[in-house]
Amino acid sequence: MVRLSAMALLLLVSVGSAAAQQEPASVFGYRDFTQQAKWDAAFQAVPDAALAGQHLKTLTKAPHWASSPEDYDTALYVAEKFKAAGLETTIVPYKVLLNKPVKILIEAFDATGKKLMSGPTPEHIDPKVDGGDPFQDDPRVLPAFNGGSPSGDVTARVVYANYGSPADFKKLAELGVDIKGKIVIVRYGQNYRGIKAYDAQLAGATGVLIYSDPADDGYYQGDMYPKGAYRPESAVQRGAVQFLSIYPGDATTPGVASTMELPDSQRVPADKIQDDWPSIPVNPMSYKDAMPILKAMGGAASPRPWQGALPFTYHLGGTASVTVHMHLEQDTKLRVIWDVIGTIDGTDPVEKENWVIAGNHRDAWVYGAVDPNSGTAAMLETVHGLGVLLKQGWKPKRRIVMGSWDAEEEGLIGSTEWVEQHEEHLKHAVAYFNTDVAVSGPNFTASAVPSLKQFVREVTREVASPAGGSVYDQWLKGQSGRRDVEEADPVNPGANVSLEAPRAARRSDANPVNEVRVGELGSGSDFTPFFQHVGVPSTDIGSDGPYGVYHSVFDNYNWFIRNADPNFAYEQQQARVLGLEILHMANADVLPYDYRAYGAQVVGYVQGAERRARTAGMTLDFGALSGAAARFAEAGLAIRQKQNSAPASSAVLNTALRAAEQALLEPAGLPKRAWYKHEIYAPGEFTGYAAVVIPGVTEGIDAADVARTQGQIALLAAALNRASSVLEVAAK
């Protein structure tokens, strides 16, 4: 059990009430916020809703899959806007492995050989139905496919495996359903699609079909597009099935930047990357195509929680009732992608090379109006605002770097390769601010490293919401009474949240009382390489709403103006929030990291792991780890006091604050996935998107491996002690 001094406990309990009573004119990290407040006001007057709408319309006028000519056109557009604002701008190419579909054929037959379906069915809505969709018939739309899937030609009986989680496959085994040699059909939701393929492959399946059930994002949730916001029957969710929890980025160059100059001899051969890509064919499908397969399946009725919303009883299959033929031809080769990087030089002699980075990806599976170009449009208006400030004489202390990442959809590739190329200098980076699905509706959400949670709250208090009051006010109002936020597992905060879309608000156990709850950083977007590989403190912001067309042809401009943000007012809001994050971090006197909150969070995580181990019946020695967590919490309290009393400029203090986060990295990485080095946060091995906290320890407990877990306890304790030492020296 972690024990803190009485004073430490009192101060930890008071975090929430003190923060809630923050004076409006006082912003953490600034000795005098007067001048910065003026710059904030000048900046907020610039982002323009109409211009954001123009950006979105231009960016989504054509399908722009990563490496396509249309994708390069979007790079040119973003670069033009960066340059117009006065940023030093470069288009940075990388050569990466991508698969492109040549032929996709899915067929199903009943026991007599009668053909039940042959697809995929085109994504199409009758123009007579609520106006149809004006973008659906563009010949440049690629057939629906999964990035990272190999080619394959397999025919086998089919088994229904619910969401394709480890628990689902375990249940099938208990029910006596043999997976080996079968094609598995699973539904989207609950976990990352690559984990579904990973679990199926481990269970011995010969192929995987992933469909969108109307229970999860279709008519069961509300009216289908174009009448409403939810997935129509022919819509298909594309997506990567790379094993992101092993490593993201170019599969041929783990840990190494895939630059144009890198010789092929230094790459992992394409036929040797099965540790990061599935070895069995995987493809998505609509529920229109899945329905005849599921309806004809025999075998036992599925467990009742596995029942979806299609109008018949779901069965497990595995019998001779349905056979599926998957024929996938993929053109898999090295292709060129393009990041766009814009910079504003810092001016402080000491702080100028300490980078503040913000970014959003640009590529899309098809048009990507919500994902990701709502974020790109908002980011461009942020850059517009920064450009106006530059003309008015504003200069940042720290260098600002804006990144428009490519091939995120294929496995966070553009951001990962850039991070791996600049890994040494990123030791000096002070923050990475991400936005991806910036706007799918009016409900603001954010995730962050614990030290930046209060930072995000402060920024949102400054920005007006289109719904009235501040963004913070609406954020807090929206969270009130939400049971999914209140009841999340403190050791695996994303466990009971659907995570197929990248953003979901998750509970933080040490969040202050009466404050908005800021989620944990799992994976699924471009903060991953910055935070979990090189230890740059990060945040991720969005504004959510009903969104049933994720990764389909219908995520387009028409859907957006009908459902998400008709007047682009929330685009303007998100541009302002992102911009204030950048401005505040670029010019803060003392870096506004709250290690007091971080310490409280870690104490809660360790206590949760102890309870988890006891429940699992494991005998583990948590003594050293409990002591290290207590020490880290004490050090967080001490450094907070130093931050409040330090001189207006303190290079030594800022260096220590930055170094403490990096001290939480384990050079050897996590078990079975050494690319992930953060000891406090990682995507779960079997969740993919959802954060697992103190992952080495937590996953060791889940694996019931005492020796492995005890070793991870020691490594976590060492990391916390390293970070504590850094903070303690600076706090003196």
Looking at the domain assignment, is residue 388 inside a domain? no
Looking at the domain assignment, is residue 112 inside a domain? yes
* Other CB atoms within 10 Å distance of the CB of residue 393: 7
pLDDT by residue (tens digit) across 411-425? 999 999 999 999 999
Say whether both 199 and 304 belong to one domain. yes
Say whether both 171 and 308 belong to one domain. yes
Say whether both 154 and 294 belong to one domain. yes
Looking at the domain assignment, is residue 215 inside a domain? yes
Axis crossing angle, helix 569-587 with helix 49-59, rounded to the nearest 10: 100
Q: What is the dihedral of CA 254, 258, 264, 268, to 10 degrees?
A: 10
Say whether both 154 and 250 belong to one domain. yes
* Other CB atoms within 10 Å distance of the CB of residue 704: 12
Q: What percent of the chain has pLDDT over 90?
A: 88
Contacts of 31 (CB under 8 A, 6+ apart): 589, 648
Q: Which two tokens stand for residue 586?
A: 């670029």
User: What is the rounded CA–CA span in Å between residue 591 and residue 650?
Assistant: 9
Q: Cα–Cα–Cα angle for 462, 467, 50, nearest 5°? A: 85
Domain boundary among 283, 313, 331: 331
pLDDT by residue (tens digit) across 627-647? 999 999 999 999 999 999 877
Domain boundary among 275, 296, 331: 331
Say whether both 162 and 13 belong to one domain. no
pLDDT by residue (tens digit) across 600-609? 999 999 999 9
pLDDT value at 430 more than 70 = yes
Q: Report the pLDDT value the prediction gives residue 649, as an integer from 0 to 100.
A: 65
Q: How many domains does the chain have?
A: 2
Rg value, the chain, Cα: 25
Looking at the domain assignment, is residue 151 inside a domain? yes
pLDDT by residue (tens digit) across 282-301? 999 999 999 999 999 999 99
Say whether both 11 and 106 belong to one domain. no
User: What is the rounded CA–CA span in Å between residue 680 and residue 717?
Assistant: 11
Q: Which of 270, 239, 190, 244 is nearest to 412 (CA)?
A: 244
Say whether both 597 and 722 belong to one domain. yes
Say whether both 267 and 125 belong to one domain. yes
Higher per-residue pLDDT: 194 or 505: 194
Looking at the domain assignment, is residue 555 inside a domain? no
Looking at residues 294-320, what average pLDDT do you find? 96
Looking at the domain assignment, is residue 337 inside a domain? no
Q: Report the pLDDT value the prediction gives residue 507, as an integer from 0 to 100.
A: 35
Q: Report the pLDDT value the prediction gives residue 513, as an integer from 0 to 100.
A: 66
> Helices (DSSP H) in 509-650: which residue ranges?
527-528, 557-559, 569-587, 595-615, 623-645
User: What is the rounded CA–CA span in Å between residue 562 and residue 16?
Assistant: 39
Say whether both 13 and 114 belong to one domain. no
Three-state DSSP at 71 gives helix
Q: Report the pLDDT value the prediction gives residue 464, as an integer from 0 to 100.
A: 98
Domain encompassing residue 147: 101-331
Looking at residues 524-542, what average pLDDT do you find? 98
pLDDT by residue (tens digit) across 669-687? 999 999 999 999 999 888 8
Q: How would residue 26 be classed by pLDDT, with cut points 50, 70 and 90?
A: confident
pLDDT value at 499 more than 90 = no
Say whether both 13 and 112 belong to one domain. no
The CATH number of whichever domain residue 678 belongs to comes to 1.20.930.40
> Helices (DSSP H) in 616-679: which residue ranges?
623-645, 651-662
User: What is the rounded CA–CA span in Å between residue 518 and residue 471?
Assistant: 14
Q: Report the pLDDT value the prediction gives residue 270, as an integer from 0 to 100.
A: 84
Q: How would residue 16 be classed by pLDDT, with cut points 50, 70 and 90?
A: very low
Domain boundary among 298, 331, 364: 331
Q: What is the pTM of this model?
A: 0.93
Q: What percent of the chain has pLDDT over 70?
A: 92
Name the least confident of 7-21, 108-122, 432-446.
Answer: 7-21
Looking at the domain assignment, is residue 352 inside a domain? no
Three-state DSSP at 212 gives coil
Question: Which CB contacts under 8 angstroms, 24+ apart, belong to 502-505?
Answer: 502/371, 502/436, 502/437, 502/689, 503/436, 503/437, 503/445, 503/447, 503/540, 503/542, 503/544, 504/445, 505/445, 505/446, 505/447, 505/479
Say whether both 149 and 253 belong to one domain. yes
Mean pLDDT of the chain: 92
* Other CB atoms within 10 Å distance of the CB of residue 379: 31
Beta-bridge mates of residue 338: 93
Say whether both 113 and 247 belong to one domain. yes
Out of 408, 515, 666, 699, the active site residue is: 408
Active site residue 420: no
User: What is the rounded CA–CA span in Å between residue 122 and residue 143?
Assistant: 8
Q: Report the pLDDT value the prediction gives residue 709, as an integer from 0 to 100.
A: 98
Q: Which of 553, 671, 22 is nearest to 286 (CA)?
A: 553
Looking at the domain assignment, is residue 248 inside a domain? yes
